[in-house]
């Protein structure tokens, strides 16, 4: 199963990140996960939110360049080597992971991780399931 992630392009200037986050907050959009990557000129803010289509429209309406990507959310054991084991499964089958980021879950025994696969999400999901990797649902992500 995949979920939608928003990628928001921001100028690499003071205040740009907080303005994007305030835009979402003012629309009562809660963040579940956040990642920020930057270059000298711009940054890419990646967020997981409960209603990505609504958040997309909110950001577009005020002028942000924003895209929706499909990502794979997985749960890994909260112990050393758990994420490496999941990534090894994919690497052994030549599945390219473009990026990954983790975030805090409400569980004490596992961590949630977002995987962006270069291509073939369905193949990656099949391989993960065959190797007993726990895929998580949107309900898992937004459970409080």
- What's the number of domains the chain is made of? 2
Domain housing 23: 3-69
Q: How many CA atoms lie within 13 A of 92 on its CB side?
A: 9
25 and 40 co-located in one domain? yes
* pLDDT recorded at residue 140: 74
What's 78's domain CATH number?
3.30.2130.10
Among residues 18, 37, 69, which one ends one of the domains?
69
77 and 121 co-located in one domain? yes
User: What's the whole-model pTM score?
Assistant: 0.82
Q: Are strands 33-38 and 134-135 parallel, antiparallel or unpaired?
A: unpaired
Residues 6+ apart with CB under 8 A from 39: 12
Among residues 16, 50, 69, which one ends one of the domains?
69
**Residue-averaged pLDDT of the chain:** 88
> Is the Cβ–Cβ distance between 100 and 116 less than 8 Å?
yes
Q: Tell me the pLDDT tens digit for each residue of 76-88.
A: 888 899 999 999 9
* Residue closest to 59 by CA, chosen among 115, 16, 14: 16
* pLDDT recorded at residue 106: 62
63 and 36 co-located in one domain? yes
């Amino acid at each position: 199963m995949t979920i939608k992630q928003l990628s928001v392009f921001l100028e690499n200037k003071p205040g740009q990140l907080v303005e994007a986050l305030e835009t979402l907050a003012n629309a009562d959009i809660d963040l579940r996960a956040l990642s920020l990557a930057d270059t000298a000129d711009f940054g890419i803010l990646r967020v997981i939110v409960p209603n990505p289509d609504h958040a997309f429209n909110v950001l577009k309406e005020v002028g942000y360049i924003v895209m929706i990507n499909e990502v794979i959310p997985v749960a890994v054991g909260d112990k050393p080597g758990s994420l490496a084991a999941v990534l090894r499964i994919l690497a052994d089958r030549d599945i390219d992971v473009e990026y990954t980021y983790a975030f805090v879950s409400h569980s004490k025994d596992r961590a949630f991780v977002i995987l962006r696969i270069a291509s073939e999400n369905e193949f990656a999901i099949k391989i993960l399931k065959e190797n007993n990797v726990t895929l998580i649902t949107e309900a898992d992500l937004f459970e409080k």
